[in-house]
Amino acid sequence: MNATLRHAGWVLRGNPVTAIAATAMLVLVGLAVAAPWIVPYDPVVSDVSNALKPPSAAHWAGTDQLGRDILSRLLSAARLDLAIAFSAVGISFVAGAVIGALCGYAGGALDRWTGRLVDVLMAFPLFVLAMALVAALGNRVENIVIATAVINLPFYIRFARAEVSVRRNAGWVEAARAGGEGRFSIVLRFLIPNILPAMAVQISLNLGWAILNAAGLSFLGLGVQAPTPEWGIMVAEGARFIGTGQWWLVAFPGLALMLAVLCFNLLGDGLRDILDPRMRT
Amino acid sequence: MSGSLLAVRDLHVAFHTRGGVVDAVRGVDFELAPGDTLAIVGESGSGKSVTAYSVMQLLDRSARIKQGQIVFRGEDITRAAPSRMKALRGAAISIVFQSPRTALNPIRPIGRQVMDALSAHEDLSATELRARALELLEAVRIRDAEQRFDAYPEQLSGGMCQRVMIAMAIACNPALLIADEPTTGLDVTTQKTVMDLLARLIAERNMGLVLITHDLGLAARYCRNVMVMEKGLVVERAPAVELFSNPVHPYTRKLVAASPTFESTVQDLVGAPPAAPVVRPHEERGTPLLLDVQAVTKRYSGSPVVDQVSLTMRRGESVGLVGESGSGKSTLSRMICRLIDHDGGSVIFDGQDIGDVPARDFHASPLRRDIQIVFQDPHESLNPRFSAFDCIAHPVRRLLKLKDGAELRQRVEAVADRCGLPRRLLPRFPHQLSGGEKARVGIARAIAVEPRLLVLDEPTAALDVSVQAVVLKLLDDLRRDDGLAFLFVSHDLNVVRMMCERIVVMRRGTVVEEGASRELFCAPRAEYTRDLLASIPHFERRPSLAG
């Protein structure tokens, strides 16, 4: 554990970009987790007398058309959006890694059929597929998670399958078999841990994408519903006020969205270096 | 100095790495006259390749030539501009790389690649280029060059690919050829044809040759002078004949001693006292054979890789399985280990037909612990995410059902001690261990569950010769003291002769000869065995290019 931390420290010192992204990530996650306790105002209680006020000392990011504090709403929204992204990517990673690794190791009919299914899934425009899923399953947060997980799944399956099939005849896999390990535990305990570093990049990129996806669905009125604070809804609602000069309604949620996605994307490469034991010396 | 082709003076090369600056080459001097041959011999990490690569300016980006001078035909090329090096590379200095398969472009026909090498330096029309390329392919003895012209590298054998590489290297008649382990990974008979060809071409065209190799026999046979490097320093240089008959430096002596010859024993390699004769465990009448392989066959896409091969082993016996790549020896050993299924015949272990259980379910068989295997490449056979301790403990946990605790720790430590692996290395990960240490982990893992049959699949093929000597000594001790039965798979006849009482020679999936080691060596019956024996490069003989 200590060695891992030391190694992480070394990677971060060598890659200032990763270090900045990691710090920003930690701050963002910290703020999101602490949101209910640190927000200066209740994010859903309206105060019409204070509506559409520009950023000030009292309201750092201004107020919206119902007089709600935008900063409080941003922080509460971060909590929801990150939760959606993490759980959706978590589901598709676990399911995708297991399915893909099993296919890559077993080959044969299982591999062929799964491959075709994945092809079919990928033939749909993915965002439209997600919209259809949410529309069919109902406008609930769980369904956004499910839809986002489903459209990410094919990438994980393909990735895990490819990474496992180059390793399945490696000496250490044969050695594990000679050491009495069965097929399933070879996949779960030997192969999947070894493809983790490569998958970390995919996970990180996907997190950014999942946030965009959730925000996009809400922007279109699917999924999370007003008045729940959510970045996509905030942008959608704020868009009506751009023409009249109340820029802060869209600018701040848009900025938050952009920074979050950027962080995840920048983090990817560094994460792989941290997770790969061979990078340690 | 005007007479020298290449002069390297006081060369220092350093690598800038995470751990700081590493001096790879620390003051190398040598000179090569036109048409002369020099072998740079050393083990991995000795700086031999770095020296040669600095001449070509093909060093890694993290490497710097700190001081020294490289003079080629009177011109200082130590820090020559890239454009100048481009003009020299291929035209005046060429290199033949290790592993020809990866050095050739896989998606371009071989004839085209030879044409590319020519057109880089010579202004010829397309038809002239093609004619010259064909000539070159014929010069490197590619049969049916006309038909093979449009073949892709994967359609040719490894030896053939190396010949194409040589054709490309000599295309523009360079004055200096650098050959970096040109035959590593090739079979011993192929090695001989490739090296003979190289030697002939060099003599015909009066090229200078720098041969980089870890194989003393090869150096002695094909080069006039030999330079021995250790840890970036030249420790000894002498004409080949002298160096091997009378090595002066302790390191050279160790290397010469560690190289197996026709007469040496495992004990000779490491300078240990002669061992007592093997005591075979007492066998009562009627005990079944330890292993009785009857006419097993394995087919891949229709064609048999192993064809009706039979083999028997008694308890505690060590049998060598020899053959070139594609002979089916590895496939046979994996069928015996029950890692793959056979398509016909039977494998009987200690009276039980173990072919009944499919290979993929054999991990649950009570006989799994009795048949263990040591894999070819120690670098590739350890799980990168397991520490050395976990690698060794894994089969103990799975097969002996030992839970984590003092008993498991004791067992792992005992077996590590047995294999000469220091206990302080146990928490390390494979990439933090040297090749020899990894080989010990691989052996410790296999013997940790006390098997009755140990299959060794080229256990030393990826190791330096001095490390090989130590690992062979360890294996020999295990065989003598613990009465383990060995099935020793190798392409190296000398090694097999030292380790085994009986040798089985395979070729193209069948057994061509079988017999006691001594007799097989002294009086080989099959022509193929004679070829194999004749191809082993040897330093007792006079080098063919010297004089």
Cβ-defined contact of A178 to B394 (cutoff 8 Å): no
- Answer left, alpha or beta for residue B435, where phi above 0 means left and psi between -120 and 50 means alpha: alpha
Retrieve residue A270's tokens: 């560094």
Average confidence (pLDDT) over B291-320: 91
Cβ-defined contact of B431 to A178 (cutoff 8 Å): no
Tell me the pLDDT band of B545, cut-offs 50, 70 and 90: very low
Find, in chain B, the residue whose alpha carbon is nearest to that of A278: B431
Of B18, B337, B363, the CB nearest to A180: B363
Tell me the pLDDT band of A280, cut-offs 50, 70 and 90: low
Question: What would the pLDDT profile of A82-140 be if each residue is shown by its tens digit?
Answer: 999 999 999 999 999 999 999 999 988 999 999 999 999 999 999 999 999 999 998 88
Determine the Cα–Cα distance for residues B523 and B518; give it in Å rounded to an integer.
Answer: 8
Mean pLDDT of chain B: 88
Determine the Cα–Cα distance for residues B277 and B273; give it in Å rounded to an integer.
Answer: 13
DSSP state of A69: B
Question: What would the pLDDT profile of B448-498 be if each residue is shown by its tens digit?
Answer: 999 999 999 988 887 888 888 989 999 998 888 888 899 999 888 888 988
Cβ-defined contact of B385 to A193 (cutoff 8 Å): yes
Task: With beta carbons less than 8 A apart as the criterion, state whether B240 and B219 touch.
Answer: yes
DSSP-assigned beta bridge partners for residue B314? none
Find, in chain A, the residue whose alpha carbon is nearest to that of B20: A281
Tokens 């399933």 locate to: A184
Question: What would the pLDDT profile of B278-289 be if each residue is shown by its tens digit?
Answer: 656 566 666 778
What pLDDT was estimated at residue B282?
Answer: 60
Cβ-defined contact of A181 to B382 (cutoff 8 Å): no
Tokens 């006039």 locate to: B224
Of B337, B369, B381, the CB nearest to A172: B381
Cβ-defined contact of B383 to A277 (cutoff 8 Å): no
Compute the nearest-CA separation of A280 from chain B (Å).
9
**Is A54's Cβ below 8 Å from some Cβ in B?**
no
Residues of B in contact with A194 (CB under 8 A): 383-385
**Is B360's Cβ below 8 Å from some Cβ in A?**
yes
Average confidence (pLDDT) over A211-227: 87
Residues of A in contact with B446 (CB under 8 A): 178
Task: With beta carbons less than 8 A apart as the criterion, state whether B288 and B350 touch.
Answer: yes
User: Which amino acid, residue B57?
Assistant: Q
Average confidence (pLDDT) over B501-507: 93
Cα torsion A99, A100, A106, A109: sign: positive
Find, in chain A, the residue whose alpha carbon is nearest to that of B432: A281
Question: What would the pLDDT profile of B37-62 be if each residue is shown by its tens digit?
Answer: 999 998 888 889 899 999 998 888 88
Compute the nearest-CA separation of A110 from chain B (Å).
17
| pTM across the whole model | 0.83
Cβ-defined contact of A171 to B373 (cutoff 8 Å): no
Find, in chain B, the residue whose alpha carbon is nearest to that of A183: B360
Residue B175's SS3 state is coil
Cβ-defined contact of A174 to B339 (cutoff 8 Å): yes
What pLDDT was estimated at residue B544?
Answer: 40
Residues of B in contact with A175 (CB under 8 A): 373, 375, 381-383, 442, 445
Q: Cα-atom radius of gyration of chain A, to the nearest Å?
A: 22
What pLDDT was estimated at residue B541?
Answer: 41
**Is B466's Cβ below 8 Å from some Cβ in A?**
no
Of B363, B431, B446, the CB nearest to A177: B363
**Is B331's Cβ below 8 Å from some Cβ in A?**
no
What pLDDT was estimated at residue B539?
Answer: 64
Element spanning B457, H or E: strand B453-457
**Is A108's Cβ below 8 Å from some Cβ in B?**
no
**Is B376's Cβ below 8 Å from some Cβ in A?**
yes
**Is A189's Cβ below 8 Å from some Cβ in B?**
no
What pLDDT was estimated at residue A265?
Answer: 87
Cβ-defined contact of A277 to B431 (cutoff 8 Å): yes
CA separation (Å) from B343 to B300, B301, B340, B351?
10, 12, 10, 20
Tell me the pLDDT band of A78, cut-offs 50, 70 and 90: very high
Question: What would the pLDDT profile of B334-383 be if each residue is shown by its tens digit?
Answer: 999 999 999 989 999 988 898 888 888 899 999 999 999 999 888 889 99
DSSP state of B425: G
The residue with greater pLDDT, B264 or B440, is B440
Nearest 5°: CA angle at A190, between A185 and A195? 125
Question: How many CB atoms within 10 Å of residue A230?
Answer: 29
Find, in chain B, the residue whose alpha carbon is nearest to that of A279: B431
Strand-pair category, B225-230 with B37-41: parallel
**Is A30's Cβ below 8 Å from some Cβ in B?**
no
Q: Flag whether pLDDT at B546 surpasses 50.
A: no
**Is A281's Cβ below 8 Å from some Cβ in B?**
yes
**Is B62's Cβ below 8 Å from some Cβ in A?**
no
Compute the nearest-CA separation of A139 from chain B (Å).
43
**Is B398's Cβ below 8 Å from some Cβ in A?**
yes
Least confident of A134-138, A209-213, B97-101, B233-237: B97-101
Residues of A in contact with B385 (CB under 8 A): 193-194, 277
Residues of B in contact with A10 (CB under 8 A): 18
Q: Flag whether pLDDT at B194 surpasses 90.
A: no
Tell me the percentage of chain B whose pLDDT exceeds 90. 49
What pLDDT was estimated at residue A93?
Answer: 95
Residues of A in contact with B429 (CB under 8 A): 277-278, 280
Determine which of B18, B381, B408 to mutate to test the interface with A (most A C-beta atoms within 10 Å): B381
CA separation (Å) from A52 to A74, A233, A243, B111, B540?
16, 17, 13, 75, 95
What pLDDT was estimated at residue B461?
Answer: 81
Q: Flag whether pLDDT at A226 surpasses 70.
A: yes
DSSP state of B344: E
Q: In what order do the strands lie in the sheet with B75-76?
A: B20-32, B6-17, B63-72, B75-76
Determine which of B22, B374, B385, B392 to mutate to test the interface with A (most A C-beta atoms within 10 Å): B385
Question: What would the pLDDT profile of B402-448 be if each residue is shown by its tens digit?
Answer: 888 899 999 999 999 989 899 999 999 998 888 889 999 999 999 99
What pLDDT was estimated at residue A148?
Answer: 93
Cβ-defined contact of A10 to B376 (cutoff 8 Å): no
**Is A42's Cβ below 8 Å from some Cβ in B?**
no
Interface predicted TM-score of the whole assembly (ipTM), two decimals: 0.82
Cβ-defined contact of A179 to B382 (cutoff 8 Å): no
The size of chain B, in residues, is 547
